[in-house]
Structure 1
Amino acid sequence: MTTRIQRRNRRKILDAALEVFSAQGFRGATLDQIAGVAGLSKPNLLYYFDSKEAMHRALLDELLDIWLAPLRAMNPQGDPRGEIMGYMRRKLQLSRDYPRESRLFANEVLQGAPRLSDEIAGDLKDLVDDRAALIRRWIADGQLAAVDPYHLIFSIWALTQHYADFDAQIRLIRGDKDPMDGAEGFLDSLFDRLLHP
Structure 2
Amino acid sequence: MDAYTAFPDAELAHAGPVSEAFLEMNIRRFHHACRWVHELPYGYNSDRDDLMILFKEKMGTCTTKHAVIGTLAGEQGLDIRKNIGIYAMTEEIVSGTRRLLAEFGLPYIPMVHCFLVHGRLRVDLTEGNRNGKNRPIEEFLHVEEVPAAVSGKEEYLRYRRALSETILRRPELAGVDVKRILQAREEGLKLLKENLRRESG
Q: How does the TM-score come out when normalised to structure 2?
A: 0.35
Compare CA radii of gyration and give the structure with the larger one: 1
Structure with higher strand content: 2
